[in-house]
Amino acid sequence: MKLILTILTVLTLAACTENVVPEEQMIELTLEELAFFDGQDGRKAYIAVDGFIYDVTNDPNWRDGNHQGRYQAGQDLSDEILNSPHGKSFLSRVPKIGILITPVDEVSDMLSTIASIDGYQSLASLVYSGQVAIDFSTYENITIFLPSLEAFELADGFEIPDDFDPSEGFDQLLGDIDLFDVLRYHMVEQTLLLEALKTGASQIETTTGEFLTITTQGDDVFVNGVLILESDILAENGVVHILDGVLVPPSLDLSVSVTFKGLNGKVIRTETLEIGDTLSFPTAPNEGGYRFISWDSEVTTISEDIIIQAVYEKIFMTLEELSQYDGKNGANAYIAYNGVIYDVTGNPNWPNGVHRGVFQAGQDITQLFQTSGAPHGASNITSLPIVAFLQT
């Protein structure tokens, strides 16, 4: 009780001067200790909201620690205040005097805390095994922004399957990405509860020496534009927040090369993207005598350097089908030579599908061409547009 009276004296002096006690003077109370300050029988009236403790003793709306007969001081009223008509706006009128804590014997070490979060057991296994060399216990105070499981799988190097078994090794998980550096960029050497993030500095330094940008929108808090989904998961030496994404260190090179190739390895397009980018496929070029079927990869999210090949199939035509393209009566004019079908439609040397009165379109001219001793040679034919291949 002597300790409680000492605390009361400090708080009374602080509350008289300003609404926010300097951080170094803030008290720490557990829920059990907070219950004493219920405003009854002359006791102070304190409430907890979002991890902070407020003194409502002198607020006229909290006579004897009771508000409208519904809310009693000495409790954590985070949910009730959030859902009340006035919300948290009235908190600016009352002194913020302390922090609500969970007793150490009720929380675990940081690694055990992460392992206890549904879905993150395999990530913790990487640390337990030493494959990711992070010792959370060396930090006196630490805040960890855990990447969402979905975002953590945006690269092969990040992927941790649900059925991951650490006894089978980790090489297939780590790939070319330094998971250690990625995780260190998610760590801050301070214990920052959600409310502290809302009201504190907009730039906070990570354990890599790089900075994170904190922004708010209403009650939502964003880290580098990534929403905090779950907050204030306490550990012995800090707190965990779960993100709706992953924080990519500025120093980490996530660029990947994507090359699209067409027929015979011809490069269609090469571009540089970042891991996790969504891929857009180009239009495959038309190739004479070939029909585009598909790309040999259906990947849509890029995770590594990749070559994507266009798949074509040959277009075949029988002699009977070829005969329809004789250049007469407005028909197209095609000829076959050495198994390849060429288009001579509109060629001035093949008016109406006839060349020098000897060669007729709609036919395989291979043998006739070779026996006629054509002075211009085969180059004038093989340079023509290809439309198909002769079915034999």
CB distance 15 to 47 below 8 Å? no
d(CA 108, CA 126): 18
> Which two three-digit tokens encode residue 107?
């929380």
d(CA 354, CA 298): 46
For residue 166, the model assigns a pLDDT of 43
The backbone region for 69, taken as left when phi is positive above 0, alpha when psi lies in -120 to 50, beta otherwise, is left
For residue 216, the model assigns a pLDDT of 93
Beta bridge pairs of residue 204: 212
For residue 168, the model assigns a pLDDT of 47
C-alpha triplet 165, 306, 149: angle, nearest 5°: 35
R_g over Cα of the chain: 37
d(CA 104, CA 18): 30
Neighbours of 195 (CB within 10 A): 20
Closest CA to 175 of 193, 155, 189: 155
d(CA 155, CA 77): 41
For residue 197, the model assigns a pLDDT of 92
Tens-digit pLDDT string for the chain (392 aa): 333 333 333 334 333 345 667 777 888 888 888 888 999 888 899 999 888 899 999 998 888 889 888 889 999 988 887 777 677 777 888 899 998 887 655 668 888 888 888 777 766 766 666 666 677 888 899 999 988 766 554 333 444 445 544 444 434 444 445 566 778 889 999 999 998 898 888 999 999 899 999 999 988 999 999 999 999 999 989 999 999 888 888 877 778 899 999 999 999 999 998 777 788 999 999 999 999 999 999 888 777 789 999 999 999 999 999 999 999 999 999 999 999 999 999 999 999 999 988 899 999 999 888 877 665 668 888 999 999 999 98
Residue-range domains of the chain with CATH: 2-100 (3.10.120.10), 104-243 (2.30.180.10), 255-312 (2.60.40.4270), 317-390 (3.10.120.10)
d(CA 317, CA 323): 10
- DSSP letters for 40-81: -TT--BEEEETTEEEE-TT-TTSGGGEETTTEESSSB-HHHH
For residue 327, the model assigns a pLDDT of 94
CB distance 289 to 386 below 8 Å? yes
Q: Please state the pTM of the whole predicted model.
A: 0.46
d(CA 237, CA 77): 25
d(CA 237, CA 246): 23
Identity (one letter) of the amino acid at 376? H
d(CA 297, CA 159): 20
